[in-house]
């Protein structure tokens, strides 16, 4: 059985009130999260991991938590950083090397490798983002997200056929066992991607912010 992963990346968006509203809508559909065929991973901003975790526990809602970033260092005197040991208290996954981190925070391949190693050291599952089939991929990356730059936040997704071809290529050339597609995924187009043989799920930005749209993505995936 293929398990489809659906990862919501809220980026630097939402406040406590907005998150509470989102959760209040989502909690009306508990059965959406119990299917063994779909695994839903929610990546809120750091300050809200605790709040969301508490809500999920109280409502026995089967969502898994992820972080959007991780410190390249272990714990210590690194002002402003959040380390793997801290993330592990709340989350199981961590997004590493997102294009926005590379572009706005000048993250290099070396930095991304260090972050991935920190994730692994703390038993977090890194979702390593790549922008093309020929990007440098740190060794030991088992889960990748193929996110072509022109598709992120533009409303212009890649074609499912091309994304599938790149996913296959990534699996053949690396240790990756799962490849997600990300970039302008919506409830309307998600199935075209998840139906592809080598695409194991989706990484969703903007369309995960609205609970209704995100519910549609889970239903249609």
Report the catalytic residues. Answer: 98, 147
**Rounded distance between C-alpha atoms, residue 185 and residue 181, angstroms:** 8
Using the structure block, give the residue that is written with the tokens 């293929």.
2
CB of 210 to ligand PGA, least distance (A): 12
Is 65 in contact with 49 (CB distance < 8 Å)? yes
Judged by CB under 6 A, does residue 56 bind ligand PGA? no
Q: Which residues inside 158-187 make contact with ligand PGA, applying CB under 6 A?
A: 182-185
Alpha-carbon gap, residue 200 to 178, rounded angstroms: 6
66 binds ligand PGA (CB under 6 A): no
Decide whether 23 or 185 has the Cβ nearer to ligand PGA: 185
Q: What is the 8-class DSSP label of residue 58?
A: H
Three-state DSSP class for 56?
helix
- Let me know if 191 is exposed, middle or buried by CB neighbors in 10 A (0-12, 13-18, 19+): middle
- For ligand PGA, which is the closer residue by CB, 7 or 27? 7
**Does residue 152 interact with ligand PGA by CB under 6 A?**
yes
Distance of CA 167 to the CA centre of its chain: 16
Nearer to ligand PGA, 196 or 207 (CB): 207
Residue 49 binds to ligand PGA (criterion: CB under 6 A): no
How far apart are CB 182 and ligand PGA at their closest, in Å?
4
State the nearest-atom distance from the C-beta of 173 to ligand PGA, in Å: 22
């Amino acid at each position: 059985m293929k398990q489809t992963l659906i990862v919501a990346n809220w980026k630097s968006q939402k406040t406590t009130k907005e998150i509470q509203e989102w959760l209040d809508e989502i909690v009306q559909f508990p059965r959406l999260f119990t299917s063994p065929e779909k695994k839903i991973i929610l990546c809120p901003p750091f300050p809200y991991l605790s709040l969301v975790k508490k809500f999920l526990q109280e409502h026995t809602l089967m969502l898994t938590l992820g972080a959007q970033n991780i410190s390249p260092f272990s714990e210590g005197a690194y002002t402003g950083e959040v380390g793997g040991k801290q993330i592990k208290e709340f989350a199981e996954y961590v997004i590493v090397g997102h294009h926005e981190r590379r572009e706005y925070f000048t993250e290099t391949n070396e930095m991304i490798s260090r972050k991935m190693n920190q994730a692994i050291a703390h038993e977090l599952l890194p979702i390593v983002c790549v922008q093309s089939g020929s990007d440098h991929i740190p060794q030991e990356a088992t889960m990748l997200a193929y996110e072509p730059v022109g598709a992120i936040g533009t409303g212009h997704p890649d074609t499912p056929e091309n994304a599938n071809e790149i996913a296959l290529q990534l699996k053949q050339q690396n240790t990756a066992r799962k490849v997600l597609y990300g970039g302008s995924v919506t409830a309307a187009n998600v199935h075209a991607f998840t139906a592809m043989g080598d695409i194991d799920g989706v990484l969703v930005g903007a369309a995960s912010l609205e609970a209704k749209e995100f519910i549609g993505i889970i239903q249609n995936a």
